Structure 1
Amino acid sequence: MRRTTMGLAAAALMLAGSVAASAGGRAAAPDSQSDVIAGRQAAFRMSGALMGSMGAVAKSGGDVKTQAFAARALASWAKALPGMFPAGSTAANSAALPAIWSDRATFEARAADYAAAADKLAELAKAGDNAGFAAQLGAVGKTCGACHDGYRKPEERRPG
């Protein structure tokens, strides 16, 4: 089950990265806007699944070396994240707030903090540092949440 989840997560994150690379920060064409939004929504769900899976291993005292792939995938997503928000890539079904584009410098700085925290998590997983990994997982969660606070609609206001 864990391998299946990890494989699906990796596939979604790679898809998101390829969509981000093709968007390249330019305005999304009307026919590709929904693809960009769908790609980033899928990648956010998969990053949540990765965080949950890694958290379960850390909480149980399991071998965090088994989470190295998941942590690297999360770090890759974190680096691709700003590219998943090209100008104009918003719609009613998107949880993205306009501040992503109007306060782009802060958004990108928060995304960079998330990427740095995720990189460190991947290093700790590779090293098999269970205590460090568990602590860093909390730091990753905080950097992730820092973007949610100002750049994502609250759950109760989201459509559908």
Structure 2
Amino acid sequence: MKRIMTATVIGLLCLGGAAGAQDARSPLADTVEARQAAMMLSGVAMGSIKAAIDAGQPIAGQRFPTRALSRWAHAVPGAFPAGSGAEAGVRTNAKPEIWSDRAGFEARAADYAAAADRLAELAAGEDAAAFAAQWAVVRASCQSCHDRYKT
């Protein structure tokens, strides 16, 4: 009986070790991958909006992508919780300054959100020149954050 118990315990420990080895990623690894996907989609939206501007398309057709961009802009700070840097075990371009200069990061994210909100407001109107100018403001706010906080 003692041998059976010992063998069972050893077997369970081996199974537990194997299961742990299969998923050695941080619980925040999915968060990192989700924010990376959202950043890519943000880039797609910006490119799509710019293409519509360049083609002289009615800005009303940009209501959905500008609202999506605005919603993402407000979610950006929450996509970078503590522990979701390189220590999450997933390749990331996020610099450690996102967490060590959190106030600066959140200020830039707030600028991005305000710029994206204004772009979405303009998409509900008919002023194509103001819409195009605001797209440039949104782009500059993106770049400002990337320059400081992205490798």
Amino acid of the residue matched to residue 48 of structure 2?
S
Deviation at 1:31, TM superposition (A): 4.0
The superposition leaves residues 95-132 of structure 1 with CA deviations (integer Å, 9 ceiling, x where unpaired) of: 00000000000100000000000000000011132111
4+ residue stretches of structure 1 with deviation over 3 A? Answer: none
How is 1:1-160 mapped onto 2 (pairs within 5 angstroms)? 31-91=26-86, 93-153=91-151
- Give the SS at the match of 2:27: helix
CA RMSD between the two structures: 1.0
The superposition leaves residues 51-89 of structure 1 with CA deviations (integer Å, 9 ceiling, x where unpaired) of: 000000011111111001100100000000000000010
Give me the TM-score of the superposition, normalised by structure 2. 0.80
Unaligned runs of 5+ in 2: 1-24
Unaligned runs of 5+ in 1: 1-29, 154-160
Percent identical residues: 53
Amino acid of the residue matched to residue 130 of structure 2?
G
1:125 and 1:117 map into 2 onto residues whose CA distance is: 13
Give me the TM-score of the superposition, normalised by structure 1. 0.75
- Give the SS at the match of 1:32: coil
Structure possessing the higher radius of gyration over alpha carbons:
2
2:83 and 2:72 map into 1 onto residues whose CA distance is: 21
Amino acid of the residue matched to residue 121 of structure 2?
E
Deviates more, 1:123-132 or 1:48-57: 123-132
